[in-house]
A and B are shown apart, each in its own frame.
Chain A
Amino acid sequence: MGAAWWLLPPAVFLAGWQALAARGALNPLFFPAPSVLAGACVEMLKSGELGAQVGATLLRMLLGSVLGAVAGLACGLSMGAVGAIRRSLEPFISALNSTPKLVLLPMLMLFTGVGETARIVPVALTSFVILAMHALDAVRGVNQAYVELARNYGAGRSALVRRVYLPASLPGIFTGLRLAVGRSLVITVSIELVGARNGLGSMIWMAWQTFATEKLYIGVIATATLGALFHRGLQALEARLIPWGSRAERAA
């Protein structure tokens, strides 16, 4: 298999950029050469600045998304299991889904003061809504043929949940998880952009204000890299946890 084909486009792009920069065809204030960026990046890694900013972002994002995802999963599964819970909660979940979580920041700061709580709650809400909706869909989408099959063999309520509903909804839940983690990163960095003193978002904003162009680029690249890493990591985890091939074929 072509192991590293994905490296080709960025390599070509960077080489072209570098060549243009070396000829002086680009204004270094706006488009610093890749070699300059790499040097700055090494500097920031050495001084520990980049690590600290990435760490701050990661901490917020993971705290928020784990809390939100666990609660969302519980909420979605119980909505899937009990019709009354679904009917009473679904409107609120959809309303929350279409509210941009960032707009809640000022309100939260009003209630809880300017602090980490106000920054993490929107992240948690983002994960919560996505997981709740995906878990609900996954449970409701379980093919009744499998329920019939298990019942025919004498499965009771608990066996149905354990052997049919949970494994059958795992692929859907995982899709939700991947989405939730991606969105959590977006919302974390956005919040840091407007309302934090550390983290990648704040670093990017400060870089803009002080015209530190290299930092600006490095912040954006670091954010994108984090997103890609999470995506790949979750894909690998999914392949391990769902060996029956959630993507390959769901029906047997």
Chain B
Amino acid sequence: MERHVRLRCSQLGVTFESVHGPVRALDNLTLETREREFLSIVGPSGCGKTTLLRVLAGTLVPGEGEVSRIPSPSDPNQAVLLVSQERSLFPWMTVLENAAFGCEMQGVPRRQRESRAREHLRRLGFAGRERAYPHELSLGMKQRVAVARCFLSDPAVMLMDEPFAALDCERRLHLQQALLDLWEQNHKTVVFVTHDVEEAILLSDRILVFSRQPGRVVAEVPVRLPRPRASAVTMTEEFLLLKRLVASKLGLYAGWSEVTA
């Protein structure tokens, strides 16, 4: 079955004005992502990943290029929602209100949206603290609430900016699994930014490796591991080959000759 393109950006360029002069964050960047695709972006810090997601979400207008959201015949919904890296929750709302915010904006009645929010929070391992305020939570907990909110709103495309970066190894594995399970149920288009090569391989159908600032795509790595996936896949030969490939494209392990899958 041919998958429709849901989100496309072409020849994006973003320059920030800072006190030290202009900073080129993105340069001539073109990419597209399809229906039911889980796309990951890995790249060095400061290469423009967050900037790209803000542009894709429509909250930052790029200096050059354009973003198009393409409606699909099977899903008329065109919302593109971003789980941002920081300030992802409103400090003045409780966990429950934050998680239900998307539904609130869609006009879902309070009782209904709160019970749905509770359900999603529970699946992300977040029971019992629904009445807490964000300042009472750890960074990792906040990110989970933000992920729950995104899933609850059921957008066409979900953009996630390092949502699990602040978690310890065990929690991270647990949540990667939770994310995979949630995703198996809705198969929405996801653009997922991470620093973690293993995480990218475990979750994605395709990985884009970005260069140093300004961010450009230096490699595209398809991941054809079978789905549904579980974290055990990280122990397979195939996985390790992919890991070497992505890592070498990233310029990690300098001195290695490039490996091909």
Q: Hey, which bits of chain A sit against chain B, CB under 8 A?
A: 143, 145-146, 148-155, 159, 163-164, 167-168, 170, 242-245, 248-252
**Which of B20-28, B78-86, B189-197, B218-226 lies at the binding interface?**
B78-86
Q: Is the CB of B90 within 8 A of A148?
A: no
Tell me, in angstroms, the Cα distance from A248 to B134 when the chains sit together: 11
Q: Is the CB of A252 within 8 A of B89?
A: yes
Most buried by B among A143, A153, A243: A153
Q: Is B142 an interface residue (CB 8 A)?
A: yes
User: In the complex, which residue of chain A has the Cβ closest to the Cβ of B59?
Assistant: A148
Q: Is the CB of A155 within 8 A of B133?
A: no
Q: Is B92 an interface residue (CB 8 A)?
A: yes
Contact with A along B132-143 (1 / 0, CB 8 A): 011100000010
Chain A contacts of B134 at CB under 8 A?
A: 244, 252
Q: For the A-B complex with A159-B105, A167-B93 known, give 13 more contacts whose Cβ atoms are closer than 8 Å.
A: A143-B87, A149-B88, A150-B90, A152-B57, A152-B81, A153-B102, A153-B105, A153-B149, A153-B153, A154-B79, A251-B87, A251-B91, A252-B142
Tell me, in angstroms, the Cα distance from A68 to B34 when the chains sit together: 58
Q: Is B106 an interface residue (CB 8 A)?
A: yes
Q: Is the CB of A248 within 8 A of B90?
A: no
Chain A contacts of B82 at CB under 8 A?
A: 149, 152
Q: Is the CB of B92 within 8 A of A154?
A: no
Q: Is the CB of B92 within 8 A of A167?
A: yes
Give the residue of B89, B93, B106, B135 whose beta carbon is less than 8 angstroms from that of A248: B135
Q: Is the CB of B92 within 8 A of A152?
A: no
CB distance from B46 to the nearest CB of A (A): 18
Chain A contacts of B105 at CB under 8 A?
A: 150, 153-155, 159
CB distance from B144 to the nearest CB of A (A): 13
**In B94-109, which residues have CB < 8 Å from any A CB?**
101-102, 104-106
Given the interface pairs A244-B134, A245-B135, the reply to whether A152 lies near B87 with Cβ below 8 Å is: no
Q: Is B63 an interface residue (CB 8 A)?
A: no
Q: Is B125 an interface residue (CB 8 A)?
A: no
Q: Is the CB of B87 within 8 A of A243?
A: no
Q: Is the CB of B92 within 8 A of A249?
A: no
Q: Is B58 an interface residue (CB 8 A)?
A: yes
